[in-house]
Structure 1
Amino acid sequence: MLSEENKGYFEKSIKQYYFLSKVALIPMLIPIGILIYCSERILDEKPFSLNTLIMGIVLFVATYVGYMSLRIKADILKDILRGDEPEE
């Protein structure tokens, strides 16, 4: 069972993780912009660098993984706070 002090700590941590997960979505605009740029070049049949497309995809995946890791941490803390066992 968690003490009141620990519950306060967990509630504060959950709020921080959810806030950080929302902030982590802001850098996702950069790879989305890169992918939009590449798709416009493809549709206009203009040359573009394949490295740019790969960089956009890698950045998008990396930011999404960071976002999801923060959400998962917040969900685990929420489960602990409720008294449930965290899912593996």
Structure 2
Amino acid sequence: MDEFKKIINKTDLHFFRYCEGTFGINRGVYNTIEQWFYKKNIFYVTERRLYIIAFLKHVFGPNKSYGKFGKGNLISKLHEFWIEKDKITTS
């Protein structure tokens, strides 16, 4: 099994720790992101995790640097990502 499949199939705690260690997000931010994608009808856990990683890479870029979302900025970044995702898949 390749490394990426191992990451998305980890337990919830270990997947969160991966996101925390790689992107510097806290549990509250992680939960908000996961809930947001769930409300977008991404019901399967592994699919949702793919979206979470893609979103975090979209926000933080290739540097995987630590960052913070300002008040209200997380949801606006999620909306921005969702629109960009739709543009890419419909092109």
TM-score (norm 1): 0.27
Greater percentage in helix: 1
Larger relative contact order, structure 1 or 2 (CA cutoff 8 Å, min sep 6): 1
TM-score by length of 2: 0.27
